[in-house]
Amino acid sequence: MKMIGLIGGMSWESSLEYYRIINEEVAAHFSRAGEGDLHSAEVVMVSLDFAPIERMQADGEWAAAADAIMRAGRQCVAAGADFLVLCTNTMHLVLPDIERRVGVPFLHIADAAASRVKAAHAQTVGLLGTRFTMEGDFYAGRLADHGLSVITPESSDREIVDRVIYEELVQGKLLEESRKEYRRIIASLVEAGAEGIIAGCTEIGLLVNQEDSAVPLFDTTRIHAEEAVRHALGSRA
């Protein structure tokens, strides 16, 4: 089993989910294989302080954010990580700047999401996330490279999605009013032609799930974590 390197803290609310899902999936795998019920993943995590990262995002200081993540990645590698998982969607914006400087491969969250969408035979997806994720090309473009068409909410709804993430979800606040707003926005994307919804922020799955969508909802936190387990187990998966 390979050692997974997690770069977390953005936010710790979703990083906790990564750790839980990865260990549950590893335990389930070995239990199914008849190798006992005490297995867990080999994981090293470096968890960053999100407040400085958020300020860098807001101020457009992406090079500084890339340096912070690069240092965290190198710490993971020094601790024995065989590959890295960046436990956030938004900060994949800087991944091209850092992956060649770290020395081990990253599992790109959009690649993992695209594979799951294509397995569900969906072609057009609605994308929810921070404004950086919804409005930039780094994520939608990566999905397009896999042959997917991407639609995003209208401007006012993008503001709502982004505000809820930064003012509520990353602080562990799960409000019913916000859940209703997300349901409405999801429904509008389905009406616009979305055959699936990508929860392109690792906290969104804390607020809404499949019951809140009439089409498949792809929780990138779970998808990314499960892909990490498959990569760690290799031929055993």
CA-CA distance, 109 to 90, in Å (whole number)?
A: 10
Which of 76, 87, 88, 133 is an active site residue?
Answer: 88
Q: What is the pLDDT of residues 146-173, one digit of tens each?
A: 999 999 999 999 999 999 999 999 999 9
pLDDT given at position 235: 64
pLDDT digits (tens, 9 = 90+) for 57-93: 999 999 999 999 999 999 999 999 999 999 999 999 9
Q: Where are the alpha helices (DSSP H) in the chain?
A: 12-32, 50-59, 62-78, 95-102, 109-119, 131-135, 137-145, 155-167, 176-191, 204-207, 220-233
What is the percentage of the chain residues whose pLDDT exceeds 70?
Answer: 99
- Residues for the chain: how many in total? 237
CA gap 2, 26 in Å, rounded? 12
Q: Which CATH topology does 110-219 take?
A: Rossmann fold (3.40.50)
Residue 110 has which token pair? 């959009």
3-state secondary structure of 203: coil
- The boundaries of every CATH 3.40.50.1860 domain in the chain are 4-108+223-236, 110-219
**pLDDT tens by residue, 167-211:** 999 999 999 999 999 999 999 999 999 999 999 999 999 999 999
Residue of 90, 130, 152, 201 with catalytic role: 201
Asked about 202 being catalytic, the answer comes back as: no
Per-residue pLDDT, 33 = 87
Q: 4-108+223-236 adopts what CATH topology?
A: Rossmann fold (3.40.50)
CA distance 26 to 29: 5
76 is catalytic: no
Cα gap 150→62, rounded to integer Å: 24
Q: What pTM value is reported for the model?
A: 0.95
pLDDT of residue 36: 84
Give the pLDDT confidence of 121-139 residue by residue, as tens digits: 999 999 999 999 999 999 9
